[in-house]
Amino acid sequence: MTSQVGSPSEKLSAVTIHAPAKINLILRILDRRPDGYHNLWSIMHTVGLEDELLIKLAAPTGGIRLTCNAQTLAVDQSNLVYKAASAVLDRTQHSVGLDIELRKRIPMGAGLGGGSSDAAATIIGLNHLLQLGWSRDRMAEVGQSLGSDIPFFLFSPSAVVADRGEAVTPMTIEGRRWVLLVKPGFGVETKWAYQELAATRGAVRPLSAGHIELDQRKSISWPQLATAAENDFEPPVFGRHGLLREIKQTLQAQGAELALLSGSGSTVFGLFRDESTARHAQAQFARDKQLDVFFVSTCSGPLAVSFGSTV
Ligand code: C5P
């Protein structure tokens, strides 16, 4: 539970931010750019599987200290949270130390954007803690320099994402859905997925007329999205990992309105209109101990910040 121990106008000493996972409801990978990245076009949505970040002000001599409950995640300067904190401090006059505690729940290498969400949460948290008054665009600019998926999280819960990931336009998706996230015991490396996609597809398929039409819209319904959903990473990633295709087929057979690979995987998600169908599907997957299964719903608001620390 979060506890409010101050208000934004008072001097803060700590903030807690909830950093949700994302799913890609549509993911088209377009042409390769001169900088080596790809232009993409995606509709993304946050879901209620969250990491949690506690950021506390400390003595300036302490620098940035990051701790994390996940043993496999480096907590040095290579960590995106560390990089984000350092990027914010570099752009301000504040001489402060930071103690940051990261509680991971979002699996890594899963196509759920956990690291990017943590970085976005760090920027938002420091904007509050240091009372920087930065706009979302300013925060997204800092995020963009650190990773392609980070700007989206500053405009969550749902948005159209284009170019390298930095062109983010919020889009309303009416209503909520239950979401089953099914992750096998392995991850997929994003860089490998891009290479495999380039090696296995013929030409780049341009955006369809339907997707171009969606690009102009401010809102969309879930049934409309379900008919427009696709992910360009499915053929190359399913080609290597047949289990992921089987998970998708099982989700469809269990009544998912939409089942799709998220990002470059390895998570496959199913969207459900009603809770009981989703719970039934969850029970089917729960029998397989090789799989991590998360039962959540789509988020209805932006990243949540509370003042003070959680207990
Ligand atoms: O930016 P991020 O670190 O998430 O990207 C990981 C890798 O995915 C990049 O090194 C690049 O190979 C590939 N990528 C890409 N085009 C994008 C995003 C990522 O080619 N728009």
pLDDT by residue (tens digit) across 126-184? 999 999 999 999 999 999 999 999 999 999 999 999 999 999 999 999 999 999 999 99
Per-residue model confidence (pLDDT) at position 94: 87
pLDDT by residue (tens digit) across 30-61? 999 999 999 999 999 999 999 999 999 999 99
Chain center to CA of 247: 21
To test the pocket of ligand 1, the residue of 28, 37, 78, 168 to mutate (highest count of ligand atoms within 8 Å of its CB) is 37
- Ligand 1 centroid–CA 55 distance in Å is 28
Whether 6 shows a pLDDT value over 80: the answer reads: no
pLDDT by residue (tens digit) across 196-232? 999 999 899 999 999 999 999 999 999 999 999 999 9
Arithmetic mean of pLDDT, 256-276: 98
Max intra-chain CA distance, the chain:
58
Quote the DSSP letter at residue 11: P
How far is residue 42's CA from residue 165's CA, in Å, rounded to a whole number? 9
Per-residue model confidence (pLDDT) at position 10: 59
To test the pocket of ligand 1, the residue of 194, 232, 237 to mutate (highest count of ligand atoms within 8 Å of its CB) is 194
Considering only 3-12, 111-120, 192-201, which range has the smallest mean pLDDT? 3-12
Contact 124, 305 (CB under 8 A): yes
How far is residue 84's CA from residue 71's CA, in Å, rounded to a whole number? 20
- Ligand 1 centroid–CA 145 distance in Å is 12
How far is residue 238's CA from residue 96's CA, in Å, rounded to a whole number? 47
Whether 4 shows a pLDDT value over 60: the answer reads: no
Q: Which residues are catalytic?
A: 22, 149
> Atom 9 in ligand 1: which residue has the minimum CA distance?
191
Higher pLDDT, 8 or 60: 60
Per-residue model confidence (pLDDT) at position 309: 64
Structure tokens at 258: 């939409």
Arithmetic mean of pLDDT, 298-305: 94
Whether 19 shows a pLDDT value over 80: the answer reads: yes
Q: What are the residues facing 162 on neighbouring strands? A: 41, 167
How far is residue 218's CA from residue 220's CA, in Å, rounded to a whole number? 7
**Residue 93 binned pLDDT confidence (cut-offs 50, 70, 90):** confident
Whether 5 shows a pLDDT value over 90: the answer reads: no
- Ligand 1 centroid–CA 190 distance in Å is 7
> Atom 13 in ligand 1: which residue has the minimum CA distance?
191
